[in-house]
Structure 1
Amino acid sequence: MERSSWSSRSTFILAAVGSAVGLGNAWRFPGLVAKHGGGAFLFVYLIAMVCLGIPLLMMEISIGRKMRSGAPGALRGINKKAEWIGWAATSNAFIIACYYAVVFAWVILMVFMSYKFAAFTNLPNMSERLNAAKNLWAQTIQTTGTVTGWSTISIPVIICLLIAWGLIYYCIRNSAHSVGKVIKYIVFMPIIILVIMAIKGLSMDGAMEGIKRLFIPDFNALTSPGIWVDAFGQVFYSMSVMMAIMFAYGSYLSDDSNIAVDGLIIAFSDIAVSLLAGVVMFSTMGGTGMLDNMSASGVSTAFMIYPQTIVSLTNVGWFNALFGVLFYLCLVTLAIDSAFSIVEGVSSAISDKFGFQLKKTTIGVCIAAGIISLVFTTGAGMAYVDIVDNWTNQYNMVIVGVLECIAVGYMFKTSKVLHEVNRNTGKIKMPSWWFNAAIKVIAPLLLTILVCWNLGSLFTSGGIYGAADGYTLASNIWAGWIITILAFLSGAIMRIIVKRNKKFREREENFKGWED
């Protein structure tokens, strides 16, 4: 089966940047900064990016290119016993795709609902404006904010969810070919809009108070395990590593690609957009006097707090409505390339393993994830997005990071992977001391400590089942613990499927590893 490939180096870079730069940059990053002492989180985030984010990004891309396969096949190529780790990453990505598509649908819905900002602006006083804007989203999606609100369902959200999945499939229907055609039109749009919004935010009175909150650290926050786990989880989430995506994207690269340089471009682009989004959020909130209302929840920030900010910008209704449309269009463009890259990582892994046609596999993945994502369109949807997002990012993704590094560093040779990273580069190379230290020492040790530290904190404050987030014990068990367990059992499930099918067994026997 002929493998799809990127049409050019720039197409790959734009696609990888588009995957990395998503909603996580626009509202998750500012929300976490607000949660963890402002600049203190930024400090830890930059450490995490340099120590682990960049080396792990290059590691996944290079293994994907060498093995010409998605995450499970790529990791099987370095050691047969490591394949299940790739399936854990793929399964976790599938879970993320299910709820991310609903967040995408919420963004689409807010584009259409932004016309109401004009009417809100004309209300008699500011408190009425703010209350109307704050309640708009909750009323539109009919959320109860609890885990028991299954009886309500939002038809507008379902319609927007269908649009979201249609857009996701359209963008990756022909894998790298269709991604390349789409990405060049949308990757720069959010950056342009964010720059305009940053200029507007910085021009407001009080904006500098927000900028100080963003960049000046509260070092007391560094004693909390949450800030470290959130920072490393955000790096993985934002950079699209530990999610099967970069293995798939690397598998479409040509042999002459320069992974060392391209990896740096992708990483620093991601950092730049995160900082730009932070400037937009904090300057605007400072300018509207709402810094103390910022939430650690990105969902709350984007859909409940930001509408209040938008109706506070001016006294001109049509201008505020137009600004709202532009803001949520920005989030649409950020969401779509991240969403389809997550699905691409999943469908590529399944297609490579079982020899299914990639286009049909993509349809199947979209349908399956689309059906599951309906759960998040109910009144309990927002609560379950919060729970599942917490577990997939703070636990699953970090554990996958530990396992991938053990596989490469101790079940294989980092020197061979590093050679693949630096194979086509000139003066700019990934240093061996940096790469080896990150893969063999820093990542396994630090991430293991952070996971244990975070679990210890969870058990201490929420009991052995971990219900410390304020949600019910039952919701944490089935939306947290059970989903996590299934993600890490997915490799064993795939082994059973392969063993019971002769065609799949023969395909596996013909698989060629790194040394072959």
Structure 2
Amino acid sequence: MDNREQWGSRAGFILAAVGSAIGLGNIWRFPYMAYENGGGAFFIPYIFALLTAGIPFMIMEFGLGHKYKGSAPKVLAAVNAKYEWLGWVQIMIAGIIAVYYAAVIGWTINYLGFAFDGAWGTDTKGFFFGEYLGLTSSPTELGGIRWPIFGACALTWGLTWLACNSGIRGGIERACKVLIPLLFALVLVFIGRVITLPGATVGLDFLFTPDFSKLADFSVWAAAYGQIFFSLSIGFGIMIAYSSYLPKNADICNNAAMTVFINCGFSMLAGIMIFSVLGSMAHSTGQAVSDVAGAGVGLAFITIPAAINTMPAPLFFGTIFFLCLTMAGVSSHISIVEAVTSSLIDKFGASRQKVVTVLCIIGFALTAVFTTGAGLLILDIVDHFINNICLLFAALVEIVLISWVIGLDGVRNDVNTYSDFSVGKLWAFSLRIITVLVLGYSFFSSLYTKITEPYGGYGMSDLVMFGWSILPLAIVVAIFLQKKQSHKQFQHYS
């Protein structure tokens, strides 16, 4: 076995894994999804999904990385050389996410600056789409580069380079030991202040009041599983890479459970934070909470700034909110880039410094496309197809391959050797049956929807160029990389 760098401490690894899992989606996707799918009742399928898919899948990926000591392509090649391509598909997906995710982090950095003087004004929608993004009418009408966004994206890639270039222990672990505790502290401070505002409890009632009739709708259960997979960074190589740096006697099961529970706990804190703000805004403007609730980019850059305008001490609220978004985004971006870095180092044997530097330069150059006037439109298409087609495909193929074709016994034996609690038939059943069925349903239903209902009103040529082409291109590149001779044969490491 090669001499692989290791995490400095168990706490450092868990904070890094949590930092990867906690991203912008926890803050702007989970609260609205809970509200849309039964409020308080949504937590029943959510916790069920956490126990039957989130933790089992995380244990499996931690186990694979720990057992074979490598990135996703190396692990799959170690199992069987003909499966290496799937690891590269996952890494291609991660690389694409890193490119456009950096642009969104750039927006949060700019808005952190805007919070100091309320530069978004009273028309937050007009400011975001017009003055700030300079949004064009088509994904192929690029317009000019928006230089504030360009500069913020350069800072994002610079921070990622600094963390990844410094290595696992000296860079990534050290960064996450600062970012993640500070992120939790800022969210708690924000919540502690915002729940005292008039109308905040109305927003919380709106979020948590259960609608148990929703539990009879299978799509609600599928949504819960989808949120678990989207928010845990599983299925596209990150957790395999991170766990490959664990020492031999690491407690895989406990580490996986803690990572999942901390991530999901943060999602619930984010729900309290967001709906307290929305409740306060509804109270101030005389609207219903349902009229101001939303998700995604609109929530973060239009609704929340408008809500901050209605609050006392907008500088305080704006600064903390966008600082939280920035830290959540940067910690996730570091993990995504590390997954790609680890794979290229394993395959070609180049130095970490060289790989990280080249990767960040290329990544920043590609991110520049998302700093143009068409950036949001391109990002919308790419992100939609990545999340609803590519990630589901990669996770589905991985779980079918590992649980049905290869078998779980090898991973289970390795995991149980060092963990405080063991996994057995229930763990295997959750992966082989429940997870496969839910992921299969989600992937094929999403594929059918995309075919029958073209997404977002975009032209078919735009959807093909920025959406449908991603997965086929990733597979072609993955097969090419599998055929490339590595500096050391992957399958020799086990």
Question: Same fold by TM (over 0.5)?
Answer: yes
2:253 is matched by which residue type in structure 1? A
Q: Deviations over 1:258-303 (max 9, x none)?
A: 0111111111000110000011101210121062344654111111
Q: Which amino acid aligns with 1:288?
A: M
Matched, 1:453 2:454: no
Contact 1:145 1:382 survives alignment (8 Å): no
The 1:286–1:204 alpha-carbon spacing in structure 2 relative to 1, beyond 3 Å, is same
Question: Would the alpha carbon gap of residues 397 and 268 (structure 1) be closer, same or farther in structure 2, given more than 3 Å must change?
Answer: same
Q: Distance in 2 between matches of 1:86 and 1:78?
A: 11
* Equivalent residue number for residue 70 of structure 2: 69
What is the deviation of 1:354?
A: 1.6
Q: Which secondary structure does the structure 2 equivalent of 1:266 belong to?
A: helix
Aligned counterparts of 2:196 and 2:159: Cα–Cα separation in 1: 36
Letter in 2 for 1:487: A
Match in the other structure for 1:136: 127
Deviation (angstroms), 1:34: 4.5
How much has 1:494 moved relative to structure 2?
0.8
Alignment correspondent of 2:199: 206
Cα separation, 2, equivalents of 1:39 and 1:449: 24
Aligned 8 A contact 1:72 1:84 in 2: yes
Q: Which residue number corresponds to residue 286 of structure 1?
A: 279
Partner Cα distance (1:322, 1:287) in 2:
15
Partner in structure 2 of residue 476 of structure 1: 463
- Label 1:169 to 1:344 Cα distance change in 2 as closer, same or farther (>3 A): same
1:100-111 map, 5 Å: 100-111=101-112
Of residues 480, 490, 507, the one that matches 2:477 is: 490
SS in 1 for 2:5: coil
Whichever residue aligns with residue 331 of structure 2, its letter is D
The residue number in structure 2 matching 1:95 is: 96
Q: Structure 2 residue aligned with 1:304, among 287, 302, 305?
A: 302
**Offset at 1:220?**
6.1
Matched, 1:112 2:113: yes
**Cα contact 2:278–2:293 (8 A) shared by 1:** no
| Structure 1, unaligned runs of 5 or more | 121-128, 499-503
The match for 1:165 is 157
For 1:331, the equivalent position in structure 2 comes to 325
Tell whether the 8 Å contact from 2:140 to 2:462 is kept in structure 1 after alignment.
Answer: no
The structure-2 alpha-carbon separation of the partners of 1:214 and 1:420, relative to structure 1 and needing over 3 Å to count, comes to farther
Q: Secondary structure at the match of 1:305?
A: helix
Confirm whether residue 378 of structure 1 aligns to residue 372 of structure 2: yes
Contact map agreement 1:70 1:348 (CA 8 A) in 2:
yes
Contact 2:150 2:371 in 1 (8 A): yes
Gaps of 5+ in 2: none
Q: 2-side partners of 1:310 and 1:359: how far apart? A: 42
Count of aligned positions: 486
> 2:230 matched to 1:240?
no
* Among 426, 430, 445, the residue aligned to 1:438: 430
Check conservation: 2:55, 2:260, Cα contact below 8 A. Answer: yes
In structure 2, the residue matched to 1:399 is: 393
Aligned partner of 2:492 in structure 1 is 512
1:436 deviates by 0.5
CA contact (8 A) 1:30 1:277 kept: yes
Tell me which amino acid in the other structure corresponds to 1:256: N
Conserved? CA contact 2:225–2:438, under 8 Å: no
CA distance in 2, matches of 1:228, 1:476: 28
For normalisation by structure 1, the TM-score amounts to 0.88
Q: Is the 8 A contact 2:134 2:373 kept in 1?
A: yes
**TM-score using structure 2 length:** 0.92
* Cα distance change, pair 368–224 in 1 and its aligned pair in 2 (3 A): farther
Letter in 1 for 2:346: D
1:86·1:244 contact (CA, 8 Å) conserved in 2?
A: yes
Measured after TM superposition, the shift of residue 201 of structure 1 is: 2.7
Conserved? CA contact 2:232–2:263, under 8 Å: yes
- Aligned partner (choices 406, 416, 426) of residue 422 of structure 1: 416
Q: Which stretch shifts more, 187-196 or 93-102?
A: 187-196
The CA distance in 2 between the partners of 1:224 and 1:158, in whole Å, is 44
Q: How much does 1:249 deviate?
A: 0.5
Quote the offset at 1:41 in angstroms.
4.9
Residues 107, 328 of structure 1: 8 Å contact kept: yes
Out of 266, 284, 308, the residue aligned to residue 259 of structure 2 is: 266
Q: Which residue identity lines up with residue 310 of structure 1 in the other structure? A: I
Does the CA-based 8 Å contact 1:31-1:301 persist in structure 2?
no
Displacement of 1:184 in angstroms is 1.2
The alpha-carbon distance between structure 1 residues 145 and 300, as it changes in their structure 2 partners (threshold 3 A), is: farther
Between 1:203-212 and 1:372-381, the stretch displaced more is 203-212
